[in-house]
Amino acid sequence: MNWENNVRRVVPYTPGEQPKIMDVVKLNTNENPYPPAPNVQKILDDFSTDEMRLYPDPTAQILIDALAERYHVKPSQVFVGVGSDDVISMAFMTFFNSDKPVLFPDVTYSFYDVWAEVYRIPYQTIPLTEDFRINPDDYNRENGGIIFPNPNAPTGVLESLETIEKILQANPDSVVIVDEAYIDFGGESCLSLLEKYENLLVVQTFSKSRSMAGMRIGFAIGSEKMIKYLNDVKFSVNSYTMNRITLVCGAEAVRDEAYFQETTQKIISTREATKQKLSELGFVFPDSKSNFIFASHPEHDAGMIFEELKKRRIFVRYWNKPRISQHLRITIGTDEEMNKFFTALQEIIK
């Protein structure tokens, strides 16, 4: 009965709740409240089940080409996966193979330590400053790789290209992954640094700014060398990660730049109005350049507000973890959803 001795044991990542009940205000997993680009629906309408008999293109060329065109890079600099979770997981496996620790912030995307654990990668967390900022000098130490989101999650704080470049300059011997899941809500992407740094990998997703969390599309852009290494690992795990319908829907979504600009701008303006209202109610929060706000209230317990909102069918995200147990992460929904949220919030903290 010793078979369990050989089990790879891990404490898994806990995704945000996907409530089974209808009629909820869902502000807990940073989804986009608007539908994907209109032409994506046309693709679905025209899709024939006959196509399902055949394997998808293992190179995902149609999607890679659309992304290469949109981001002005060569197709050989683009890698795609089943959401950026898949892309980052592959990147951990491919690039973090040192005995030295991989570095990431203490308050950050809570999947990084899970991947490090599951792949047996040593890691060290670097505390953010008091106001949740990255101090680039803290990354000036021996390491086996570096990863951080920009803007960071769950804080929403955006770091400048200057900060990122400082980290890159100090770490020519490490792969540096910048997870730009939330970059399209007012941040400046560090894609421009790719010309100078062969060891930089920029990861983005269709789940937030392109409203396609349910389709599962993520991508990485980096040097041709890095993308080749990623593909070698991917093709050693699963050749067919991207299914046929996802590939065509994803490519179509990337081509509609006007819709992308319109919807991201709507979210940005709702976010700015939300900041104003939260401040008026006495909440404090670091300035967010993402599609969520990480807020706390000096007089009201975050866990209590979370539970009370849930009773009213309003879902936000809460972690009972060191440094952040008095914060709520509130995704920006439509103006109407935010109004419902504020009506409930006022009732709870009155």
Q: Which residues bind ligand PMP (CB under 6 A)?
A: 83-85, 109, 149, 153, 179, 181, 205, 207, 213, 218
Complex with ligand PMP: residue 153 or 302, whichever CB lies closer:
153
Which residue blocks in 29-120 are alpha helix, DSSP H? Answer: 38-46, 61-71, 83-95, 112-118
Complex with ligand PMP: residue 113 or 179, whichever CB lies closer:
179
Which residue from 88, 130, 87 is spatially nearest to 107, judged by alpha carbons? Answer: 130
Beta carbon of residue 79, minimum distance to ligand PMP (angstroms, whole number): 13
Give burial (CB, 10 Å; 0-12/13-18/19+) of 239: exposed
Complex with ligand PMP: residue 81 or 101, whichever CB lies closer:
81
Which residue from 302, 299, 293 is spatially nearest to 281, judged by alpha carbons? Answer: 299
What residues contact 219, with CB distance under 8 A and at least 6 apart? 63, 67, 78, 79, 80, 81, 84, 87, 203, 204, 205
Complex with ligand PMP: residue 181 or 249, whichever CB lies closer:
181
> What is the three-class DSSP state of 284?
strand
Beta carbon of residue 299, minimum distance to ligand PMP (angstroms, whole number): 29
Classify strands 176-179 and 200-205 as parallel, antiparallel or unpaired.
parallel
Beta carbon of residue 337, minimum distance to ligand PMP (angstroms, whole number): 19
Complex with ligand PMP: residue 109 or 294, whichever CB lies closer:
109
Beta carbon of residue 332, minimum distance to ligand PMP (angstroms, whole number): 14
Cα dihedral angle (60, 64, 65, 66), rounded to 10 degrees? 110
- Cα dist from 81 to 157, 204, 212, whole Å: 26, 10, 13
Beta carbon of residue 350, minimum distance to ligand PMP (angstroms, whole number): 32
Angle at 108 between CA 105 and CA 110, to 5 degrees: 120
Residue identified by tokens 């909820």 is: 24
Beta carbon of residue 242, minimum distance to ligand PMP (angstroms, whole number): 13
Beta carbon of residue 107, minimum distance to ligand PMP (angstroms, whole number): 12
Complex with ligand PMP: residue 32 or 344, whichever CB lies closer:
32
Complex with ligand PMP: residue 90 or 345, whichever CB lies closer:
90
Residue identified by tokens 């203490």 is: 106
